[in-house]
Amino acid sequence: MTTSPVNHIETWSTLCHHHFQSTHHIKLFLHHLVTTCVLFPHSVSKCSQLALVLNCYKEDDPQHFCHNLWVSPHVFNILLSLIEDHSIFYNQSNVDQLPVSFQLAIALHWFGTFGNSASVDSIAQWAGCSPGTIINSTQQVITATLPLHDQAICWPTAQEKHDASDWVERVSCHAWRPGYCMVDGTLVTLYTKPGHYGDQFFDCKSNYSLSLTVSHSLPSVLCG
């Protein structure tokens, strides 16, 4: 059985059509490969604790607010009022920054954690944002806080020295009255044993820690 010339022409035309169609699809696919950074994009679910802490705990549950940020709502408001107008929080970028209160909360939460919980990824998961946002927010809060050093840490006035001396005499004896400065310290627990001279960091509470001490001059009666 022989095929007619007409059937040959139709078959050839069909093959050519499929060939050109396949070639077109291949070109589109190759163009997609070349121009696309992420072939299979996906979104990561993020559930932020910031709104819960700042909107709910701050007003109705100060204990849990302090557990998350390590300061009371009143202290948080004072810190926020001191730094919120700093120029570091206002730039000309097309990408809006987080509210200053959110950035302060991120920094305070990070300052109060240690161990695995202090990793950037863990803080980012808690805050519901990217690790880069955690780093930038913390750096900006530090930048805005540093100029407050002289305002927060200063020598006592004459009246404050007098009041402190009155308190020393009241709780001790008259011989101690010339003293108005105190010495105190606290242990900052380390996550693990330091690699260098680690045994020297082992404290009386069976932790590895650093001793943070605020020291001023002692009463003159003790210096003789």
Answer whether residue 26 is part of any domain: no
pLDDT value of residue 216: 47
Domains of the chain: total: 2
Token pair in block for residue 146: 């540093």
Domain-ending residue, one of 122, 150, 178? 150
- Non-local CB neighbours of 162 within 8 Å, separated by 6+ positions: 180
Neighbours of 144 (CB within 10 A): 22
Domain-ending residue, one of 90, 121, 150? 150
Token pair in block for residue 156: 């006592």
Nearest to 107 by CA among 85, 89, 87: 89
Q: Indicate if 121 and 191 belong to the same structural domain.
A: no
**Residue pLDDT, tens place only, 47-106:** 789 999 999 999 999 999 999 999 999 999 999 999 999 999 988 777 788 999 999 999
pLDDT value of residue 2: 53
Does residue 141 contact residue 152 with C-beta atoms inside 8 Å?
no
How far is Cα 143 from Cα 139, in angstroms, rounded to an integer?
Answer: 6
Answer whether residue 28 is part of any domain: no
Answer whether residue 94 is part of any domain: yes
Give pTM, 2 decimals: 0.62
Helical segments of the chain, H only: 5-35, 50-51, 58-60, 62-69, 73-83, 100-111, 120-127, 131-145, 149-152, 158-171
Answer whether residue 4 is part of any domain: no
Does residue 65 contact residue 58 with C-beta atoms inside 8 Å?
yes
Please give the residue that has the higher pLDDT: either 182 or 28.
Answer: 28
Q: Indicate if 142 and 188 belong to the same structural domain.
A: no
Q: Indicate if 123 and 143 belong to the same structural domain.
A: yes
How far is Cα 3 from Cα 62, in angstroms, rounded to an integer?
Answer: 90
Q: Indicate if 124 and 55 belong to the same structural domain.
A: yes
Q: Note the residue count of the chain.
A: 224
Range scoring the smallest mean pLDDT among 14-28, 83-97, 136-150, 192-206: 14-28
Domain that holds residue 169: 155-222
Q: Indicate if 165 and 141 belong to the same structural domain.
A: no
Q: Indicate if 165 and 134 belong to the same structural domain.
A: no
Per-residue pLDDT band for 10 (boundaries 50, 70, 90) equals low
Does residue 83 contact residue 99 with C-beta atoms inside 8 Å?
no
Asked if the model's pLDDT at residue 218 lies above 50, the reply is no
Q: Indicate if 145 and 190 belong to the same structural domain.
A: no
Token pair in block for residue 37: 């950074």
Range scoring the smallest mean pLDDT among 11-20, 72-81, 130-139, 194-203: 11-20
* 3-state secondary structure (DSSP) of residue 214: strand
CA 71 remoteness from chain centre? 15
DSSP string across 131-162: HHHHHHHHHHHHHHHGGGHHHHS-PPPHHHHH
Q: Indicate if 113 and 128 belong to the same structural domain.
A: yes
Domain-ending residue, one of 120, 150, 180? 150
pLDDT value of residue 35: 81
Answer whether residue 13 is part of any domain: no
- Non-local CB neighbours of 49 within 8 Å, separated by 6+ positions: 68, 126, 127, 128
